[in-house]
Chain A
Amino acid sequence: MKTKILNTISLFFKPIIKVLKMYKNKLEKSMHQRFVLFGILLALVPLLSNLDIIRYSTVSLVAYIVIFTIVALGLNILLGFSGLMSLGTAGFVGFGAYGVVYFSSLGLPYEISILATLIISSIIGLFIGLFSLKVEGVYLAISTLAVGEIFSQIFRRVTWFTNAFGGVHYKYPLLFGVVQLNRNTTFILLVIMMVLMMFVMYNLTNSKTGRALMAMSRSNSSAQAMGVSISKYRLLAFLIATLYATIGGILYASFYRYVQPLDWNLMLTLLILAMVVVGGIKSIFGTFIGVFVIYGVPSLWLEELFSSINGVAYIFSGVLIIVVIMYYPYGFIYVIQDTKKLYHKFKNGIENRKNKKKNKVENNV
């Protein structure tokens, strides 16, 4: 009797499950659709804020996560796919922020300011790429640290560019000379840019170019034997990382509208590095998770719970980073993958037991 009821219920649900499964398959086949869906979800955040469902300051927090996801994605291409390290990332983000503000202050329209900033940033990035053809390993990494430090010195002293410790103010972007954005629409711009950068990264890494980067990362010699030009692809890797970081900086200035010199230091670079490694090497969504874990979790929850005890948020973040790396050196996203696998195993286990039971019943009849 029980089985009969269960059977009728499952008959009812089967078509619904079928439809859901169909849609799930479609979604799985296209990562691009996933990125867009994700972007749409994020774009709802300002709406939720307007409806007072989430706080005004949370939008600011999410904006920070979106911006640094872009920066971290660039570093992921450099480190995760190409096997190269940069310890100067924060410098490039700062340069992007100061750059767009500076060129706008000269009277140039938003888009031109962005272009000018990107061009100069790329040149510097290409220099590092060229440098990397001769200097390798930890020497290269520390050299990028030197570049970051030089940026830091520039931000603190070149007054005509950065106004030194006074910082610079900016306004929300004016697109194409006609569309004036406000806080919410700038946020949406941030999200659109992030989705775009995800698209670019996905297309790039799942192509011959992406494979060439990975071959180079695995072994210079083997890559060269397959025709991969190390010079070309190293330059490309540094160029891309630079562009992503600079874009992050440009968006930072566009949303927060205030840039000051002390933020762009080694500590920030190391945090971005942690976002990549903790979130997921070579993983796009993993990078977002990494940024969320490194920045979002402490900011969202811990300051509420532990505001009386200074520094606990930091201790928590630090311990979390260490624990994740020790057990999941490739990042948190693989925790999720492992969980999925466990779930499938569990499901299969139940299926197998069901089938065994069925066979037993049939044999006994």
Chain B
Amino acid sequence: MYNLDNNTILEIKNLCMSFGGLKAVNDLSFDIRKNEIVGLIGPNGAGKTTVFNCITQFYQDKEGTILFRNKEDEIVNLNEVHVSHVINEGLVRTFQNVELVSDLPIIDNLLIGAHSLYKTGIVSHVLHTKKSKQEEIFFREKADEILEFMGIKAIKEQLAGGQPYGILKKIGIARTLMSNPRLIILDEPAAGLNEQETNELSDLIISIKDNYKCSILLVEHDMGFVMQVCDRICAISFGKFLAMDTPEKIKSNPIVQEAYLGKDDD
């Protein structure tokens, strides 16, 4: 079977992904530890989104292994897991466009995040059984707690449509917490936020790590934000691994600097 170091929850080994003739991800390997915030950075076109979609199984036809320590503390190879079952293992992601259901209240959007945890089925719902009513109450209370934690409980009955972008992103993150995740992958969480919102976001992400005892992988462009929030940063370029280290070391890493700024023509 599969084996992982006790402290590791995600290990990507030799990941390769091509589109037609173009190698988007080229033999990439890195790991994420328990209770850690990791940032994935790279210049535009580096392949961050592709890595992301590979981990979450939205892309097939990839090579390599993606080992994950799931909710039951078993080691699974995510490549063997169907995209709609990834959340069952304890890995959940956000979307840049957030993609909530606009016609539903915010709290109902959160309940969608708990979809994988519900035990009642279609028939129970149609018959409005006691069990389904109880489950509904249980998850609504859980949603209340999370909304409180995120500071948006007051507007929970408002429709998700029409909310400002900052709130939408918060709802997106709140939704991931509903499924008791071990690892949350955030897709450019700071995109479109101003400086104040970005600082709030850093605090929020760190407090999520502390309160919900999970790890977080974020894919991001905003360097300042990434340096602030991450325990370790993995830098890639043209689909290839450059370096993985603490923010300070990455900042001063010459290979990383070159990839971002180009070689000095001295």
**Could you tell me which A residues sit within 8 Å of B by CB distance?**
200, 203-204, 207-212, 214-215, 217-219, 221-230, 236, 282
Q: Given A208-B120, A208-B125, A282-B103, are A230 and B115 neighbors across the interface (CB < 8 Å)?
A: no
Q: How far is the CB of A336 from chain B (nearest CB, A)?
A: 17
Q: Which residue from B83, B87, B118 sits with its C-beta under 8 Å from A208?
A: B118
Q: B85 on the interface (CB 8 Å rule)?
A: yes
Q: B101 on the interface (CB 8 Å rule)?
A: yes
State whether A225 touches B93 (Cβ < 8 A): yes
Given A208-B118, A224-B83, 19 other A-B residues pairs in contact with their CB atoms under 8 A: A203-B127, A203-B128, A208-B120, A211-B101, A211-B111, A214-B103, A214-B104, A215-B112, A218-B99, A218-B101, A219-B95, A225-B93, A225-B95, A226-B87, A226-B113, A226-B115, A226-B116, A227-B88, A228-B112
Q: Given A212-B115, A214-B104, A226-B115, are A203 and B179 neighbors across the interface (CB < 8 Å)?
A: no
Complex formed: what's the CA distance from A218 to B108 in Å?
14
Q: How far is the CB of B252 from chain A (nearest CB, A)?
A: 36
Closest to A32 in B: B128
State whether B95 touches A227 (Cβ < 8 A): no
Q: How far is the CB of B81 from chain A (nearest CB, A)?
A: 11
State whether B125 touches A203 (Cβ < 8 A): yes
Q: Which residue from B83, B102, B112, B136 sits with its C-beta under 8 Å from A212?
A: B112
State whether B95 touches A221 (Cβ < 8 A): yes
Closest to B172 in A: A222
Q: How far is the CB of B95 from chain A (nearest CB, A)?
A: 6
Q: Which 6 A-B pairs have the closest CB atoms?
A: A227-B116, A207-B125, A222-B99, A227-B87, A219-B99, A224-B84
- Taking CB atoms, residues of chain B closer than 8 Å to A209 are 122, 125-126
Would you give the 0/1 interface string for B123-155, flagging 1 where the beta carbon is closer than 8 Å to chain A? 001111000100110000000000000000000
Q: B165 on the interface (CB 8 Å rule)?
A: no
State whether A230 touches B122 (Cβ < 8 A): no
Residue among A210, A214, A226 facing the most chain B CB atoms (10 A cut-off): A226
State whether B112 touches A225 (Cβ < 8 A): no
Complex formed: what's the CA distance from A224 to B91 in Å?
12
Q: Which residue from B92, B93, B115, B122 sits with its C-beta under 8 Å from A211?
A: B115
Residue among B100, B103, B108, B120 facing the most chain A CB atoms (10 A cut-off): B103
18 pairs from A and B in contact (CB 8 Å cutoff)? A207-B132, A208-B111, A210-B125, A211-B101, A211-B108, A211-B111, A211-B112, A214-B103, A219-B99, A222-B100, A225-B56, A226-B92, A226-B115, A227-B87, A227-B115, A227-B116, A229-B84, A230-B84
Q: B86 on the interface (CB 8 Å rule)?
A: yes
Q: How far is the CB of B88 from chain A (nearest CB, A)?
A: 6
State whether B99 touches A211 (Cβ < 8 A): no
Closest to A219 in B: B99
- Taking CB atoms, residues of chain B closer than 8 Å to A203 are 125-128
Q: How far is the CB of B172 from chain A (nearest CB, A)?
A: 9
- The interface residues of chain B, by DSSP majority, are classed as helix
Q: B240 on the interface (CB 8 Å rule)?
A: no
Q: B48 on the interface (CB 8 Å rule)?
A: no
Q: Given A224-B83, A227-B85, A282-B103, are A208 and B95 neighbors across the interface (CB < 8 Å)?
A: no
Q: Which residue from A218, A221, A224, A229 sits with its C-beta under 8 Å from B100?
A: A218
Q: Which of B146-176 contact A (CB under 8 A)?
A: 175
- The interface residues of chain A, by DSSP majority, are classed as helix
- Taking CB atoms, residues of chain B closer than 8 Å to A224 are 58, 83-84
- Taking CB atoms, residues of chain A closer than 8 Å to B92 are 225-226
Complex formed: what's the CA distance from A225 to B87 in Å?
7
Q: Which of B16-32 contact A (CB under 8 A)?
A: none
Complex formed: what's the CA distance from A278 to B128 in Å?
29
State whether A211 touches B104 (Cβ < 8 A): yes
State whether A226 touches B175 (Cβ < 8 A): yes
- Taking CB atoms, residues of chain A closer than 8 Å to B83 are 224-225
- Taking CB atoms, residues of chain B closer than 8 Å to A230 are 84
State whether A227 touches B93 (Cβ < 8 A): no
Q: Which residue from B86, B101, B127, B135 sits with its C-beta under 8 Å from A215?
A: B101
- Taking CB atoms, residues of chain A closer than 8 Å to B101 are 211, 214-215, 217-218
Closest to A208 in B: B118
Q: Which of B214-263 contact A (CB under 8 A)?
A: none
Q: How far is the CB of A208 from chain B (nearest CB, A)?
A: 5
- Taking CB atoms, residues of chain B closer than 8 Å to A219 are 95, 99
- Taking CB atoms, residues of chain B closer than 8 Å to A282 are 103
- Taking CB atoms, residues of chain A closer than 8 Å to B95 are 219, 221-222, 225
Closest to A212 in B: B115
- Taking CB atoms, residues of chain A closer than 8 Å to B118 are 208
- Taking CB atoms, residues of chain A closer than 8 Å to B128 are 203
- Taking CB atoms, residues of chain A closer than 8 Å to B120 are 208
Q: Given A211-B112, A211-B115, A226-B116, are A236 and B122 neighbors across the interface (CB < 8 Å)?
A: yes
Complex formed: what's the CA distance from A248 to B127 in Å?
21
State whether B115 touches A208 (Cβ < 8 A): yes
- Taking CB atoms, residues of chain A closer than 8 Å to B58 are 221, 224
- Taking CB atoms, residues of chain A closer than 8 Å to B100 are 218, 222
Q: Which residue from A204, A214, A217, A229 sits with its C-beta under 8 Å from B125?
A: A204
Complex formed: what's the CA distance from A347 to B9 in Å?
59
- Taking CB atoms, residues of chain A closer than 8 Å to B112 are 211-212, 215, 223, 226, 228
State whether B99 touches A200 (Cβ < 8 A): no
Complex formed: what's the CA distance from A224 to B113 in Å?
11
Q: How far is the CB of B136 from chain A (nearest CB, A)?
A: 7
Q: How far is the CB of A241 from chain B (nearest CB, A)?
A: 15
